[in-house]
Amino acid sequence: MRLAFIAALQRLPARQRAVLILRDVLAWSAAETAELLELSVPAANSALQRARATLGASAARPATPDPAALGADEQRLLDQYLDAFERFDIDALTGLLHEDAVLDMPPIQLWLRGADELRRWWQGTGCVCRGSRLLPVRVNGGVGFAQYHDGGAKPWSIQVLETSSGRIEAITYFLDTPRLFPLFGVAPTFAQNAAADAAER
């Protein structure tokens, strides 16, 4: 929800932004949205269509985060995380975390705290991430990853990492990939991104 809100905030006029958030983020009906904003239902639907069109037109593929924009230590930490996650090396992953690191996964009501708890989750339910591929993306002015399951065949999440003092303090997996992946300009499969990169070269 936070990512969708920020993307809309940056690209849309106020009314379109409000309609988009109410309809696509909060799942309000057209009638509820129109009543709250004192619009007719056709006007609310029109604003939603314009908002979606604006976001769709602005979803050109963003540049891969520039390593020069990151400190050397932060870039090294992100590289280590990407490598450990794709190998699904639990020891290496937990070694990158603060002891009180947090993991959450909107819209699922999952909230974990502590490196040991994250380790147990990755070894249990979280093992579905084994075999994932990660693609760096810009997130809120920083760096995150588009995560693909099944060796890169299935879009799964936008991961947002928060770091401090050379370690990861929070990981958020945003799972609403049908809406979020287009906002970040990434393709439905990892291979399609690689093909697009090759074509651009």
- Give all domains of the chain, ordered by start, each with its CATH number: 2-57 (1.10.10.10), 67-200 (3.10.450.50)
Structural element, H or E, at residue 32: helix 30-37
Distance (Å, whole) CA 26 – CA 48: 13
Q: Is 109 exposed, middle or buried (0-12, 13-18, 19+ CB in 10 A)?
A: exposed
> In the chain, pLDDT over 90 holds for what percent of residues?
48
Query: 109-154 pLDDT, tens per residue?
Result: 889 999 999 999 999 999 999 999 999 988 876 779 999 999 999 9
Query: 67-87 pLDDT, tens per residue?
Result: 445 688 888 999 999 999 999
pLDDT of residue 199: 63
Q: Are 141 and 97 in contact (CB under 8 A)?
A: no
pTM: 0.66
Distance (Å, whole) CA 61 – CA 27: 27
**Diameter of the chain by CA atoms?**
56
pLDDT of residue 55: 72
pLDDT of residue 4: 52
Q: For the CA atoms of the chain, what is the radius of gyration?
A: 18
Distance (Å, whole) CA 125 – CA 76: 28
Flag the least confident range among 36-50, 53-67, 148-162: 53-67
Say yes or no to pLDDT of 39 above 50.
yes
Region 96-104: what's the mean pLDDT? 94
Query: How many Å from the N-terminal Cα to the C-terminal Cα in the chain?
Result: 34
Region 92-121: what's the mean pLDDT? 93
Q: Would you place residue 64 in the very low, low, confident or very high pLDDT band (cuts 50, 70, 90)? A: very low
CA–CA–CA angle 111, 116, 120 (5° rounding): 75
